[in-house]
Structure 1
Amino acid sequence: MTETHVSARHRLFETDHLHQDLRGRSVRGAAVTIGSQAARFVLQLAGMAVLARLLVPADFGVYGKTIALTGFITVIQTGGLSLATVQQAKINHAQISTLFWLNALLGVVAAGLIAALSPVMAWFYKDPRVLWIGLAMAGVVLITSLGVQHRALILRQMHFTQKVSSDIAALLIGFAAAMISAWFGAGYWAFVVQQYANALVTLAMLYGFCRWVPGLPRRRTGVRPMVKLGANQSASTVLNFASSNMDNVLIGRYVSDAALGFYTLAFRLLLLPVQQINAPLTAVMVPALSRLQHQPQRFARFYYRALGAIVFVGMPAVCFLQVDAAPVIQIALGAKWLPAVPLFEALGVAAFISTFNFAGAWVYSSLGRTERRLRWQVIATPVTLVAFFMGLPWGALGVAISFSASRALLLVPSLLNAYMDTPVDLRTTARTLARPAAASIGAALVLWGIHHVSGPWPVHWVVLDALIYGCLYLGAWVVDASGRAHLRDLMGVLEDLRSRKRETAAGNP
């Protein structure tokens, strides 16, 4: 291997150069992710709308109940080892090569478990279709496991443009494959086709962007602490997945496929705006905060500024969707999905909390506190499961209400656990969240009052509703000096994003 290749490979693992312009890289990463989210939002909304019209609610239900049981197994394919690669201060080629082969082995194990449990799932649901979907999804798990470390290296180096490009390409091709399959009558198999297309495109692009080639696995490379960190992360993720998906299992088993279809699509549509903000910016924030883990003041300042900017957008989006649930569902999904409106409304509290539920996860991941996160999930998961069972006698609506109630009950204890002995605290977080929460809820109440007085509006007036809500929300910020100061600070962040984006476009990284 030439000296040039050795040097290039070495730069994949070092992060010292990132400290020289951490803020700039973080801002450019945020600019890239925010800029890409418009495309992601349009693609996801369009794909959801088309599939909702080509398929019936039961198709969404039969696929959803299968994934609800297989999904917790797919979590083990990463073993949390991607976080270990991103979070550790120092890594080397031998360590990441060993982690790559561990991920491949975990992928084989996860695929084998899904295949072996597919007959059990079919028996549990009393539905033979689940058997064949489960067997088919085993291949997706294996493919995905082969790109875990390449994605982690891209994130470690904060090459967010590459990550975003692969995500959008996979999303576009996956939806196109699903739509074509559904058009030709594939039914619920369209979702399986979508997953294979997504996984294959993602893997190809990750390998294209990150030209790292793993070596053979070796002993005594110092991966034991990384594996321990990843194991704790993986275990807590499995528990979190279980607590977040047992509702789908129960509805699919004890209510009906159609009810589960309404439930899952209502939740997906409600969380769609939030996910366009939270998921990609978490990919930016965890590496950035990891680089600041030994600088508590900078860590806290960076954390609160990002948290405030995200909830400024996420909270009003969820509140507006609650007020205009019926017209939004009718326009986005079609009239046959209107039975999902009560579920959409019942899940509102859970969705509102989801606008900042990453607050604890950022701390756990960036500071390597995965063991503490696991201990919390051991407490939180049984509480959530009990809530689901308590709501089940009232069907999907009862489960939705119980899910929102459990999220509210666990909110403060979860943040207290995450913040213990860290640079951030609950009091400052509450101050950061208070203003956007009050403005979002207040604007929603005023808009609801207008509807109550004037009577139902035509469905196509939803755009007018959005304009009224936007004016009410922004008006709540400009009525006093502190609100105006916050808006000026936010505008400064946006201007910084624009300037960094122009620099990047001009070739000045």
Structure 2
Amino acid sequence: MKPPVPASEIGRAAFRGSFSTLSWQVSRIILNFVSVIAMARLLSPEDIGIIAMVLAVTGLGDLVRDFGLSMAAVQAKTISDAERTNLFWANVAISLALFAALLVLAPHLAVVFSDVRLTQVLWLCSSVILFNGACAQFKADLNRNLRFGILGLVEAGSQAIGLCLGILVAYLTGSYMALVVMLLATAISELAMAASFASWRPGAPDLKVSITRFAKFGAGLAGTQLLAYLAKRGDNVVLGYGWGAAAVGLYDRAYSLVMAPVTQILVPLTRVAVPLLGQLRDDDDLLLASLKKVQLCTAICASSAYGLIGGTAGTVIPWLLGESWTDTSIIVQAMVFGGVFRTFAQVPYWIFIVKGRTGSQFLFHLFAQPFIISAIIIGAIWGGFGIALSLSVSYLLVWLAQMAWVQKVTGVKVGEITLCGFICFIVFFIPMYIIPVAVIRVFGDGFFAISIASEILYFILAATFWPASRSVLGEVVAVAFKRNKQGKEQA
């Protein structure tokens, strides 16, 4: 077992881990971007909408099968091989039960959505839950041992394999089954790679070894994640029921461009933050200092990126995806606001976990998530654009309420972090959103390159003259330079 990282080094270790993780996640975001473009060019909005509705169901099952046990294994102070083995078999057993349940429910869900094609697709996609269930503890082992680079390689590599096979099948058949192939290939290759890199192998389950402490932690976390998932992916269900597969397809492409990168960045960042910040659970000052550094870097990047995406969506999306996807650009322009505040909301999530207050977190979501679901239902009256706009407003309000709640129940003073989020939104997001819209509106699409150049210039000026951003981005450059120097020395 590795010795704990010294408390004085936690902030720097968390920052280095975050940088390493973000570096790998850039490749995943690029792969996701390629996937969105390629599949939009090769498939119709209706084809993509069918898979999106199925994933709203199987994604829920994939969340339940984990039951918070992987994160419980990561954050635990100690864990034996016998406990790890029992956690593995618990994940497998839950996955098998969910797989069987979805096989039975598939025909009935097809009736609800009035589309018989959903039955076969749901049967195939539900098998992904089995592979992910078997993979969970292998990835938790890599995470617990702080092997973030290997974990990034596993996830990005499996995603690349799935994408290549999916594009090939889409090109050859032009069928939505290409997306099914992509999902299955990704899950299978991820399991194979994670198992090969992990330092542990499961044996036979030992009924004498209890995993109750992990289940108690996981139950609160799983409940929170379940409610959050219903709020995040209930949009596809509501939209599919009221507007059909084509509307879901248009909305899903917007979601894949705006919200999917949030998950691809924040999930691995959580893997970095939880084991490192968990060592500071009893020192609020050091915990807060570390959180400020990581959150500031994330907030600057998220605010700038979403401002750029929202401001250029009207020009870029029809050009990238094709004229049949023009309505997606309007949805993106409304959704980017919510993407920023969803990113900000990760900090209180980390504090709840590190402080072991997943029960309090679940209690908050019992009230917050029904509010978001209500916003989705109301917004659905106006279709995908209405849902995107209502979600953005609700994410802002929920973030503010969550920051207040986490301070009340944990005692961690998060006022400065909240203020930092607003400053990043004002300094980076709003100008980066407005600049390309204004340039293109006044001078036309021919000046698109000038609008991008103006954005880059503004970002450099803003990042340079704001002392906080200058400090944290300077550390990013220092870490990158150090890693590059070490790579050359090893070579």
TM-score between the two structures when normalised by the length of structure 1: 0.90
Cα gap change, 1:478 to 1:32, in 2 (>3 Å): closer
Correspondence for 1:239 among 227, 247, 252 = 227
| Contact kept in structure 1, 2:142 and 2:198, CA below 8 Å | yes
Offset, 1:385: 1.8
What's the secondary structure of 1:215's corresponding residue?
coil
Residue 207 of structure 1 pairs with residue 195 of structure 2: yes
Partners of 1:504 and 1:91 lie apart in 2 by: 33
Cα gap change, 1:72 to 1:118, in 2 (>3 Å): same
Residue 82 of structure 1 pairs with residue 65 of structure 2: no
Cα gap change, 1:388 to 1:489, in 2 (>3 Å): closer
Cα gap change, 1:446 to 1:329, in 2 (>3 Å): closer
Correspondence for 1:294 among 282, 286, 298 = 282
Cα gap change, 1:275 to 1:378, in 2 (>3 Å): closer
Correspondence for 2:454 among 444, 447, 468 = 468
| Contact kept in structure 2, 1:26 and 1:288, CA below 8 Å | yes
What's the secondary structure of 2:173's corresponding residue?
coil
TM-score between the two structures when normalised by the length of structure 2: 0.93
Offset, 1:205: 0.7
Correspondence for 1:499 among 475, 479, 482 = 482
1:488 is matched with 471
Partners of 1:255 and 1:388 lie apart in 2 by: 13
Residue 221 of structure 1 pairs with residue 209 of structure 2: yes
1:104 is matched with 92
Q: How does 1:349-368 map to 2 (within 5 A)?
A: 349-368=337-356
1:385 is matched with 373
Partners of 1:242 and 1:95 lie apart in 2 by: 30
Residue 444 of structure 1 pairs with residue 433 of structure 2: yes
Q: Which residue identity is paired with 2:154?
A: S
2:307 is matched with 319
Offset, 1:462: 3.7
Partners of 1:257 and 1:67 lie apart in 2 by: 13
Q: Which residue identity is paired with 1:431?
A: L
What's the secondary structure of 1:407's corresponding residue?
helix
Q: Which residue identity is paired with 1:129?
A: R
Q: Any idea what the Cα deviations from partners look like across 1:30-51, whole Å, max 9, x if unmatched?
A: 3422332332232221222111
Q: Which residue identity is paired with 2:439?
A: I
Cα gap change, 1:462 to 1:380, in 2 (>3 Å): same
Partners of 1:411 and 1:211 lie apart in 2 by: 38
Offset, 1:224: 0.9
| Contact kept in structure 1, 2:318 and 2:329, CA below 8 Å | no
Q: Which residue identity is paired with 2:336?
A: G
Q: What fraction of aligned residue pairs are identical, expressed as a percent?
A: 24
| Contact kept in structure 2, 1:376 and 1:414, CA below 8 Å | yes
Q: How does 1:123-272 map to 2 (within 5 A)?
A: 123-185=111-173, 187-271=175-259
Partners of 1:273 and 1:69 lie apart in 2 by: 20
1:8 is matched with none
Partners of 2:120 and 2:94 lie apart in 1 by: 22
Q: Which residue identity is paired with 1:26?
A: A
| Contact kept in structure 1, 2:162 and 2:181, CA below 8 Å | yes
Partners of 2:487 and 2:68 lie apart in 1 by: 32
Q: Which residue identity is paired with 1:476?
A: A
Cα gap change, 1:485 to 1:412, in 2 (>3 Å): closer
Q: Which residue identity is paired with 2:437?
A: W
Q: Any idea what the Cα deviations from partners look like across 1:286-314, whole Å, max 9, x if unmatched?
A: 22112222232221111110000111111
1:417 is matched with 405
After alignment, is 328-337 or 229-238 more displaced? Answer: 328-337
Q: Unpaired runs of 5+ in structure 2?
A: none
| Contact kept in structure 1, 2:15 and 2:294, CA below 8 Å | no
Partners of 1:504 and 1:283 lie apart in 2 by: 24
Partners of 1:39 and 1:489 lie apart in 2 by: 22
2:35 is matched with 47
What's the secondary structure of 1:218's corresponding residue?
coil
Partners of 1:357 and 1:308 lie apart in 2 by: 13
| Contact kept in structure 1, 2:24 and 2:149, CA below 8 Å | no
Partners of 1:285 and 1:409 lie apart in 2 by: 25
1:5 is matched with none
After alignment, is 17-26 or 156-165 more displaced? Answer: 17-26
Q: Which residue identity is paired with 1:154?
A: L
Offset, 1:463: 3.8
Q: Unpaired runs of 5+ in structure 1?
A: 1-10
Q: Any idea what the Cα deviations from partners look like across 1:48-107, whole Å, max 9, x if unmatched?
A: 211110001111101111111232122111111001111111111121111111111011
What's the secondary structure of 1:91's corresponding residue?
coil
Partners of 2:262 and 2:380 lie apart in 1 by: 27
Partners of 2:388 and 2:23 lie apart in 1 by: 33
Offset, 1:141: 0.7
Q: What is the alpha-carbon root mean square deviation over aligned residues? A: 2.3
Correspondence for 1:343 among 324, 331, 337 = 331
Q: Which residue identity is paired with 1:236?
A: T
